[in-house]
Structure 1
Amino acid sequence: MLVLTHISDLHLDGTRRATERAERMRDSLWELPGRVGALLVTGDIAGHGTEAE
């Protein structure tokens, strides 16, 4: 079975909150049964759109 995974609006801005949220998402993906065949990331990846992000 092919597992497709979609995550959206990560808002990664370098804060501890955003980092912990991304780590929880990563851990959830690793805990899925089977293997993820594709990961689709959409929405706002950066928190504020700055060059550093």
Structure 2
Amino acid sequence: RAADIRLYITDNTKVTALTGWKPEKGITEIVTDIHAWLNENRAALEPILG
């Protein structure tokens, strides 16, 4: 859709500086997990995503 954000990049630098928190997963693992979840929940998502 025209109003959607085409690319969204986050930066946790400030959170890390303030709290010491760092992500436990990298982008490859996150995308792999999302892909697996989508496949595992395909039947439930079908009415929503078509």
Greater RCO, 1 or 2 (C-alpha within 8 Å, sep 6+): 1
Q: TM-score, normalised by structure 1?
A: 0.34
Structure number with the higher helix fraction is: 2
The structure with more radius of gyration: 2
Relative to the length of structure 2, the TM-score reads 0.36
Q: Which has the higher strand share?
A: 1
